[in-house]
Amino acid sequence: AQKITQTQPGMFVQEKEAVTLDCTYDTSDPSYGLFWYKQPSSGEMIFLIYQGSYDQQNATEGRYSLNFQKARKSANLVISASQLGDSAMYFCAMREGGSGGGADGLTFGKGTHLIIQP
Amino acid sequence: DAEITQSPRHKITETGRQVTLACHQTWNHNNMFWYRQDLGHGLRLIHYSYGVQDTNKGEVSDGYSVSRSNTEDLPLTLESAASSQTSVYFCASSSGGAGVGKTQYFGPGTRLLVL
């Protein structure tokens, strides 16, 4: 079973609208972290936001916020007031605590291709 | 500014050849990772290292090896390149220690084509 599921392969959104990118995850580990990365057409991976499984509040970073619903195992990324420069691939990723103490690699979803239209 | 670099950025090779991709970070991070990115698969973990002389296999390690002789570098070697290893390769690093919240910072990637 996939550990990270991103159900929206592609999205078209009008500029200045808010965007929600879906991410659901699967883990039995009580300690885990959820990350979102942006990959523009130039190819680099840019860290956006992080949410820990024990965090009481949803994470926010500027125009980015994470709608964390633990019981539903979802960690949706919300981008407020979208801009043309937000057009990119967006990846949700998870790191589980496990026996490695948090130093193991990330498990990524397959990504959502977001296109912002003027 | 601290950074993570990869070289070469583009590489074309032939099947059966040995190829080494370089990764160098100046963050002084203990943890380093190699991923490959293929269409329809997202990024998948190849190998990772917690520190000097430490290496571990990831999800898709067959045909790849790494060695860690210092903190700054984690080269990835394809022992005998295969067409299935045509991909984009990303190196990443994070600070060490316990905790799931250690953000990984990625290099710019290397595009490898195996003919």
Q: Tell me: the pLDDT tens digits for A4-57?
A: 999 999 999 999 999 999 999 999 889 899 999 999 999 999 999 999 999 999
Q: Percentage of chain A surpassing pLDDT 90? A: 86
User: pLDDT of B34-86, one tens digit each?
Assistant: 999 998 778 999 999 999 999 999 999 999 999 999 999 999 999 999 999 99
Test the B interface: residue of A104, A110, A113 with most B CBs within 10 Å: A104
Please judge whether B100 and A47 are an interchain contact, meaning their C-beta atoms are less than 8 angstroms apart.
no
A90 CB within 8 Å of a chain B CB: no
Q: What is the 3-state secondary structure (H, E, C) of chain B?
A: CCCEEEECCEEEECCCCCEEEEEEECCCCCEEEEEEEECCCEEEEEEEECCCCCCEECCCCCCEEECCCCCCECCEEECCCCHHHCEEEEEEEECCCCCCCCCCEECCCEEEEEC
Taking the Cβ of residue B44 and every Cβ of chain A, the question of whether any pair is shorter than 8 Å is answered with yes
**What percentage of chain A has pLDDT greater than the value 70?**
94
Which residues in chain A are contacts of B5 at CB distance < 8 A?
A: none
